[in-house]
Amino acid sequence: MKKAIGTLLAAAAIAVTAPATANANGYGYVTYPTFTYPTYVYSPHQALAGLHEINMRQADQRARIERGFHRGSITRHEFHNLMAEQNHIQAIERSYVADGFLSPPERHDLNRRLDFAARHINWEARDGQRRF
């Protein structure tokens, strides 16, 4: 048993030091591999996962903006600014989906932008400025 543990420890020590000696470039220091971002592998049904929910959120936000404008709680200037923000998010979405895939970081970015837009809509609807 002691011999097996000793053999395993020796193998582990060799495994740990072997990459360092293999990467030594002759100048006395070790080079390490650079970090690469993970690549995402998609199946056809996962290619645009989450896009429907994002589109539904955008439609809901546009409806809230228009409803606030027609009720008078959002002024004309605020309406144009909020719709410009929605159009900007839509343009970013189009650029993300242009390759036929929506990666998890892209989906996260769109959801974050929609969260900020929802806060802006709430703020503008409740800031006390009225369209008479």
With 0.75 as the threshold, say if the pTM is over it.
Answer: no
pLDDT (tens digit per residue) in 99-110: 888 888 999 999
At 113 the pLDDT is 96
User: Of 5-9, 110-114, 121-125, 127-131, which gets the smallest average pLDDT?
Assistant: 5-9
In the numeric block, which tokens belong to residue 5? 């543990």
132 and 74 Cβ atoms separated by less than 8 Å: no
In the numeric block, which tokens belong to residue 72? 């008078």
Cα 119 to its chain centre, rounded Å, is 18
Mean pLDDT of 63-77: 94
Alpha-carbon distance values, 92 to 10, 39, 58, 125 (Å): 54, 21, 12, 25
Mind giving me the DSSP string for 24-50? B-SSS-B--PPP-PPPP---GGGTTTT
130 and 113 Cβ atoms separated by less than 8 Å: no
> Where would I find the beta strands (DSSP E) of the chain?
none
51 and 30 Cβ atoms separated by less than 8 Å: no
pLDDT (tens digit per residue) in 77-96: 999 999 999 999 999 999 99
Strand, helix or coil for residue 105: helix
Q: Which residue carries 């002691």 as its tokens?
A: 2
